[in-house]
Copies of this chain bind each other. A is one copy, B any other.
Amino acid sequence: MSLESYMNQIGQQARAASRLLAKASTAQKNDALLAMAKALEEARPRLIEENAKDMANGQEKGIDAALLDRLLLNDARIDGMIEGLKQVATLPDPVGEITDMVYRPSGIQVGKMRVPLGVIGIIYESRPNVTIDAASLCLKSGNATILRGGSEAFHSNQAIAQAVSMGLKKSGLPEEAVQVLNTVDRDAVGKLITMAEYVDVIVPRGGKNLIKRISQDARVPVIKHLDGNCHVYIDDEADLDKAFTICMNAKTRRYGVCGAMESLLIHKQVAKEILPRLVSAYQEKGVELVGCDASQAISSSVASATEEDWYTEYLAPKLSVKLVDDIDEAILHINKYGSHHTDAIVSGSYTKTRAFMAGVDSSSVMVNASTQFADGFEYGLGAEIGISTDKIHVRGPVGLMGLTSQKYIVLGDGHTRDN
């Protein structure tokens, strides 16, 4: 079969499955998730065996250690996937939720009902567990999924797909509810992101370059998670002890998460007091500091920052520091150099916290809290498929709700429209 026909068949099957999934009851979807968990458990030896092939291929090709680590499936990671499936089964079902029903002067009653998006295409890189994370959230929200993993994880993903398929079969939901592409042909991605008749939205999971390329070429809406170049701004009216605690947590709790602070802005009035305290604490943790001239004048441990630094998401023990004249400069800086992910102010001023919340154009804006809270679980949304830095459709952590849409429902009793 040609790639074109193969992809069309996958698309048609996904569309047909999505119609059935949209009607599936909460119990059916939960049963399917638990059956998938059971099937993964039973497939454990096979998963490890198939993953070993990918690992061997990877080593042979000389892919780097970090990538190899992400590729690895061991018992702990399989446990994680199984646990993830069980957790998603416990989340509330967003589908069918009816809200905002009001009577209108004409006598009709108008409100909204939450519905699945339809078919979601997921494109991801090395980590095979994304197959399960993504498929489970899509399934619970009533969507069919087409998954395309990295070629380096091909055998692992196929083995996971078999287990998923077996679980779906046992639960009575269509097997085509979750389809993992069985080709490494790169043209399959090009087809997937352009077949708007079968795919309603694309969620790319991976590096900035992958996401940019996909956004550029897609003919289907894309839910984008670009980088998290997060800021904390310490205002001149900040409680400096709170500022210290928040800045340490925002940078050092974890370096590799998208909610980690990458750039620290400090009002010049308080910089002399707070910056040296922070510098010495960061140095103890091994955090490298680069900054503007004014911050270097205060602390000799701050190296010189380049223009590029202000744009950079380090995801590493490195931080850029800039002193600002006032909150306006801080907001301008964040909107210019930031990535619209998560930015925080530390301040005791009513007026300035309000201005910051209104003025910073990011998917999450925080007041007196660590940027590392940016996470679906912390927000009460449950597991997330990514954090959208877009404005269209969904912003911030994308959980079950973000994978749904709403339609209007209108109830009458023979009502007609006059004029």
Interface residue ranges, A against B (CB under 8 Å):
19, 22-23, 96, 102, 104, 106, 108, 110, 113, 115, 117-118, 200-201, 215-216, 219, 221, 239, 241-242, 245-246, 248-250, 253, 335, 344, 357-359, 361-370, 372-373, 378-380, 391-393, 395-397, 405-417
Contacts and interface: CB of A to CB of B under 8 A. Distances in A.
Nearest to A216: B219
A245 B357 contact: no
A194 to B, nearest CB: 10
Contact of A370 (B219, B239, B378, B415): B415
Q: Is the interface of A mostly helix, strand, loop or mixed?
A: mixed
A76 to B, nearest CB: 17
A408 B391 contact: no
A211 to B, nearest CB: 13
Give the residue among A104, A221, A414 with the most B Cβ atoms within 10 A.
Answer: A414
A71 B323 CA distance: 56
A368 B413 contact: yes
A253 B365 contact: no
Those 7 A-B pairs whose CB atoms lie nearest each other, nearest first: A369-B412, A242-B414, A249-B416, A391-B405, A366-B410, A393-B393, A364-B408
A410 B414 CA distance: 46
A104 B246 CA distance: 18
20 contacts: A23-B358, A110-B378, A118-B391, A201-B392, A216-B219, A221-B392, A362-B407, A363-B407, A364-B408, A366-B409, A368-B412, A369-B410, A370-B415, A372-B417, A373-B417, A378-B417, A379-B408, A379-B410, A395-B407, A396-B407
Given A200-B392, A392-B392, A407-B363, A104 B414 contact: no
Contacts of A241: 414
Contacts of A19: 335
Nearest to A100: B380
A404 to B, nearest CB: 9
A335 B366 CA distance: 43
